[in-house]
């Protein structure tokens, strides 16, 4: 039985990362989304006794998830007919019920898929804190969004409230905030500026490969390697 089940919802590629549309053609944008998913899953695989599930209706996303060693849950019936703004949360609720039906005592981590600079040790640190506390969130680098909802040591239903301003909603619902720096785990990529910060932190191999190919269209240099694993510096744009 896994000790933790990581749930990663991914929308259809045609709908993903619209705020990058001015900088990247649709196919390049889709390739970047898939690469960031690969690097996010790679970091999550570094957790001890972890099972990973990607929730999606997109066949290309599903193929990448399977190649990365994750299970795939096609958007369940509970998601159909739900307003698009809440479809991610509906998918996570259904996936959490499915995971707990398989392993009643498993800890849950609802994780965003666009974390190309995340490290396994950051996820492990957040998970360790949540196991001592219960329900916690990792707020994003702006302080308003949520990159991870950790649901540990409880059998209460998962109540994800992702979307704009989600950190405040999660905290209002009883979650506590992880306070550690965790710069890679906090950096979800929505804009070109976010992507530039991720590059400076050091992105995973899949994202680096895509950026090497499409980097001429972006306003920053695109190195091909991760940040050294023990580096701890945080760019000025990440300070809060």
Question: Would you list which residues are annotated within the binding site?
Answer: 146, 163, 166
Taking alpha carbons only, the member of 92, 240, 100 closest to residue 160 is 92
**What is the residue-wise DSSP string for 176-206?**
EE--S--HHHH----SHHHHHHHHHH---HH
Classified as helix, coil or strand, 139 is strand
Distances 47 to 41, 61, 126, 191, 223 between C-alpha atoms, Å: 10, 22, 11, 28, 26
The Cβ of residue 81 has, within 10 Å, a number of other Cβ atoms equal to 8
- With residue 86 as reference, give the H or E element that holds it: helix 84-102
Classified as helix, coil or strand, 209 is helix
Binding residues for phosphoenolpyruvate: 146, 163, 166
Distance CA 21, CA 28 (A): 10
Phi, psi values for residue 10, rounded to 5° = -135, 125
Phi, psi values for residue 5, rounded to 5° = -120, 120
Distances 38 to 33, 62, 118, 157, 176 between C-alpha atoms, Å: 9, 11, 11, 28, 28
- Beta-bridge mates of residue 111: 148
């Amino acid at each position: 039985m896994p000790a933790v089940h990581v749930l990663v919802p991914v929308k259809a590629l045609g709908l993903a990362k619209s705020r990058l549309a001015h900088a990247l053609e649709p196919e390049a944008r889709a390739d970047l989304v898939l690469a960031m998913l690969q690097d996010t899953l790679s970091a999550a695989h570094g957790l001890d006794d972890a099972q990973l599930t990607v929730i999606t209706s997109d066949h290309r996303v599903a193929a990448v998830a399977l190649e990365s060693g994750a299970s795939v849950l096609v958007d369940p019936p509970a998601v159909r007919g739900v307003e698009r703004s809440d479809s991610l949360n509906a998918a996570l609720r259904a996936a959490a019920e499915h995971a707990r039906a398989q392993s009643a005592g498993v800890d849950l981590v609802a994780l965003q898929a666009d974390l190309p600079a995340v490290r396994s040790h950051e996820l492990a640190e957040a998970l360790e804190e949540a196991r001592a506390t219960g329900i916690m969130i990792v707020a994003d680098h702006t302080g308003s969004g949520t990159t991870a909802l950790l649901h540990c040591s409880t059998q209460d239903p998962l109540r994800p409230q992702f979307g704009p301003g989600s950190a405040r909603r999660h905290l209002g619902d009883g979650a506590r905030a992880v306070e550690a720096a965790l710069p890679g785990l906090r950096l979800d990529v929505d804009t070109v500026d976010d992507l530039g910060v991720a590059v400076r932190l050091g992105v995973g191999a899949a994202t680096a490969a895509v950026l090497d190919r499409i980097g001429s269209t972006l306003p920053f240099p695109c190195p091909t390697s991760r940040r050294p694993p023990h580096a701890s510096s945080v760019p000025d744009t990440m300070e809060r």
